[in-house]
Amino acid sequence: MNERRERGFTLVELLVSLAILSIAMTVLFGAISDSLDRTRKARDDATAAALAQSLLARAASDDALAPGQASGIYSNGFRWRLNVRPYGDTDDAKAWKMSAYAVRATVSWRDGERSLAALRLVAPVKPP
């Protein structure tokens, strides 16, 4: 008896292994893509928070703070808006020795928006 044994994979075994490999690669690439997307969103949110904090700090150092709104665009494409409005009612303004302003800094980008708010006290402007 002359038995010949062939070594190697059959066509069916190769097709099954390729199917398993393609499913595994699809799941792996999906997980990597989701991870990169979450990382980008976290980076953008942290950048926006830092920019909004910078806007509030700049407003805090501004001696001529007045009610109103200002806006612009940073070089990285983030848009900013600074909203200043009087805080309290007219009775509060008469009773306080300082003027109070509610300052809101908003930074927005393609996927979201981040806002920070602060209360700023300034010396009242005395008429000449």
Q: If residue 118 lies in a helix (H) or strand (E), which one and from where to where?
A: strand 112-122
Question: What digits encode the pLDDT tens for the residues 62-96?
Answer: 767 888 999 999 999 999 999 999 888 878 777 88
Please tell me the predicted confidence (pLDDT) of residue 75: 92
CA angle (115, 121, 124) in 5-degree steps = 135
Tokens of residue 36, six digits: 């990169």
Please tell me the predicted confidence (pLDDT) of residue 97: 82
Contacts with 69 (C-beta within 8 Å, 6 or more apart), sequence order = 81, 82, 83, 84
Please tell me the predicted confidence (pLDDT) of residue 121: 84
Chunk the chain into consecutive blocks of 10 residues (it has 128) and report each block's average pLDDT, rounded to whole numbers: 68 92 95 95 94 91 83 94 89 81 94 92 67
